Amino acid sequence: MQRYFVKHRVNDERFFIDEEDRHHIVKVMRMQVGDQIICVDQEGKQAICRLAEITDESVVADVVQWKEEISELPISITIASGLPKGDKLEWIIQKGTELGAHQFLPFSAARSVVKWDEKKATKKIERWQKIAKEAAEQSHRAFMPEIVSPMSFKALMGKSKDFDYKLAAFEDESRKGEMHLFSSTLKQMKNGESLLMVFGPEGGLADEEVKQLKDHGFGLCGLGPRILRTETAPLYALSAISYHFELLR
């Protein structure tokens, strides 16, 4: 059943759908009055709904049954990625959303080849948010991840104080055989707590960045014996987190 994140809930019995989702329902899915969808409100509440009215501007959906369903990780994960080349960040956002990430925080790293263009910022962020929305709907998430506007490394260090736990994936730690910090951190975490995980761009984190991470209370962790690409490492981490908090329990 098709799922939509809906901004406007009239009351406990009715949703009001407009803009792109209205277009998708009518033009792409070719649904008609009487067809059913799942609506998710901004609080993460989900309901099976029946299309009651379709106009040129909106769709009205009446609640048939509210759903009690848990699809979110019990901890909040923010993925901070050093701006990578090409469409790698889009891949991280799409797949990371499917794997349960709560927030994506791109940052300009010393070794980022890509330079953030403020003139194109609005369109870029809108595209990333759309990718996250579609991935969240496809994977039956209750919430859409937030895409934070790219920031400097210095700003990232300032924002890191908002998190309960902080880790940075660092390939030198993998080479040294450090395999325990990531696992031990997850074992310490309780439901509702937050974790910020930092991943460098293609060239990795610079020495000065590593020093600043340590100074700001980050733990440097390895992610197994193999060296992972910048677009692979966050997905590995999210998969491991899902296994630890969901499948293992």
The pLDDT of residue 104 is 98
Fold for the domain defined by 76-247: Alpha/beta knot (3.40.1280)
Reply yes or no on whether the pLDDT at 174 is more than 70: no
Domain locations in the chain as residue ranges: 3-67, 76-247
Mean pLDDT, rounded, of the chain: 93
Reply yes or no on whether the pLDDT at 146 is more than 70: yes
pLDDT in tens, 66-91: 998 888 999 999 999 999 999 999 99
Domains 3-67 and 76-247 agree in fold: no
- In this prediction, residue 151 has a pLDDT band, given cuts at 50, 70 and 90, of very high
Q: Which of 79-83, 112-116, 181-185, 237-241 has the lowest mean pLDDT?
A: 112-116
Assign domain 3-67 to its CATH architecture: Beta Barrel (2.40)
- Helix H, strand E, coil C: the string for the chain is CCEEECCEEEECCEEEEEHHHHHHHHHHCCCCCCCEEEEECCCCCEEEEEEEEECCCEEEEEEEEEECCCCCCCCEEEEEEECCCCCHHHHHHHHHHHCCCCEEEEEECCCCCCCCCHHHHHHHHHHHHHHHHHHHHHCCCCCCCEECCCEEHHHHHHHHHHCCEEEEECHHHHHCCCCCHHHHHHHHCCCCCEEEEEECCCCCCCHHHHHHHHHCCCEEECCCCCCCCCCCHHHHHHHHHHHHHHHCC
Reply yes or no on whether the pLDDT at 249 is more than 90: no
